[in-house]
Structure 1
């Protein structure tokens, strides 16, 4: 089959010819990190039946996007038209990029899943981004303890810590929505790392940012309140901390949650180790396992 991959053809990429004859479905993902987590860690055992490819590695047609969620959507559409079994995974923030505010603020998983805004072959993650699935308390705490060469803390303590992080990032998410609406550069995921809690974020980040924005956009404070309400709806105050954290991870930025945790504990990037730990512990989310199973069985 390697000879087929190396042959020239009328197709834009040899991989497209290979996939057509091999019959192995390809799942396009947004980044190399996504490919590593999904393809090399969590679903490595499916490599003979399903191939995860970062979309940037694909040679597309003129006019197609070359990176991010739009590139995944373009790639799946083009491959399907060419007769190749292709799928895609995009972060939930893709509906944010496309200004689908109804889905950005949809708290019901079934309603969100059934919407399929980019077609039935593109899976939109329920959580904000791939990193949001790495926030798994037993694995996060194990990685922290190993890095620090110390003991494991009680899970309830770690859940409480992460809930504080998620709540602190609710206004961060709302502020980024305001920036996006007005076509302004967003606030980075590490901006709240030195801010203790939500009140600290509101005083040190939100108020100065809205004051600056008001000079250019008179309605920014009003829009912020609306986006804040939409983000707050993902919290479930009557539930236990684990339920609240997982629910909030649908709207707050997963990269920002990890960044706060790493900064607070003096850690380097946990993404790779966390992905491996989650796989070893058998804690890959059912949502993703169900999608992969569906992609394998329905070409």
Structure 2
């Protein structure tokens, strides 16, 4: 059953469906992912044959690896979807496939086999930050006169250096480093604080920033640029920045992910086409 509000806070153990023997199992990292994908694909003609099942209540419990194990050990028709950041923690891919800019090349590699779909974006939540979905949320909250997707995309791109910088806390550090103490910093002040926190030299910081900004592919249109760049931005970290930019901290996107997912579900072209086609292929190949 779909939730009526925009929050994921009520999704818990009850959302983890016991494994059955019917249909096709699609294992996901968390109940948040489960909710998003059920929301997106519930009206597609192949949905009745798919069962989206979470392996964990939250990310951070090794969900990506649990997905791989579930698919490998299942005796059923089982597949899995994992976030791109699984590659960042994998020594076999963190210096190669993780940095692949071309989505077609990225998707063709299938590093964990044919049954595992690795999202081209950092995590599933990154898809929720489409400017059109954000514009809809801004309009609903009536806290900001900026309701144009293009204007919101421009604002995000104007602050992309800070988004990239805060992402470096994840790409450079082998363990997750908190960014709350950096919330009020931007520009050079943010870069200096990150240098101190990660104990690295300025040239290392600059080199890593360039690698991430390459994902914008020199696009000039704000919406297109944001869509390309945000593939390799740490979704949870930039969420706080977007909170401040669009809502001055009065609205927390963490509690509005359901609303964003719902808006995207109403506008099917916003749903990732590669993921949709992969699910269609599974449905057709196992019919």
When normalised by structure 1's length, the TM-score is 0.78
Asked if 1 retains the 8 angstrom alpha-carbon contact of 2:163 and 2:241, the reply is no
5+ residue gaps, structure 2, are 1-16
Q: Partner residue of 1:247?
A: 228
Q: Distance in 1 between matches of 2:29 and 2:136?
A: 28
Q: Distance in 1 between matches of 2:273 and 2:234?
A: 21
5+ residue gaps, structure 1, are 1-13, 58-64, 215-219
Mapped pair 1:42 → 2:36: no
Q: Distance in 1 between matches of 2:259 and 2:251?
A: 12
Q: Deviations over 1:176-197 (max 9, x none)?
A: 22211xxxx323365654334x
Q: Partner residue of 2:261?
A: 275
* Aligned residue among 185, 190, 196 for 1:201: 190
Asked if 2 retains the 8 angstrom alpha-carbon contact of 1:166 and 1:257, the reply is no
Pick the structure with greater CA Rg. Answer: 1
Q: For CA contacts below 8 A with separation 6 or more, give which structure has more relative contact order.
A: 2
The farther-off stretch of 45-54 and 186-195 is 186-195
Q: Partner residue of 2:9?
A: none
* Aligned residue among 158, 180, 183 for 1:164: 158
Q: Distance in 2 between matches of 1:191 and 1:288?
A: 36
CA distance change for structure 1 residues 111 and 135 in 2, over 3 Å: closer, same or farther?
Answer: same
Q: Deviations over 1:109-136 (max 9, x none)?
A: 1111111111111000001111110011
Let me know the Cα RMSD of the aligned residues: 2.5
SS at match of 2:271: coil
Q: Partner residue of 1:174?
A: 168
* Aligned residue among 237, 251, 258 for 2:218: 237
Asked if 2 retains the 8 angstrom alpha-carbon contact of 1:162 and 1:257, the reply is no
Equivalent residue pairs, number = 258
Q: Deviations over 1:65-102 (max 9, x none)?
A: 974111111111111xx2x1111110110100113121
Q: Distance in 2 between matches of 1:188 and 1:66?
A: 18
Per-residue deviation at 1:224?
4.0
Q: Distance in 2 between matches of 1:162 and 1:258?
A: 11
Per-residue deviation at 1:172?
2.4
When normalised by structure 2's length, the TM-score is 0.81
Asked if 1 retains the 8 angstrom alpha-carbon contact of 2:67 and 2:81, the reply is yes
Per-residue deviation at 1:36?
0.3
* Aligned residue among 82, 96, 111 for 2:88: 96
Asked if 1 retains the 8 angstrom alpha-carbon contact of 2:167 and 2:237, the reply is no
Q: Partner residue of 1:32?
A: 31
Per-residue deviation at 1:47?
3.9
Q: Distance in 2 between matches of 1:280 and 1:89?
A: 22
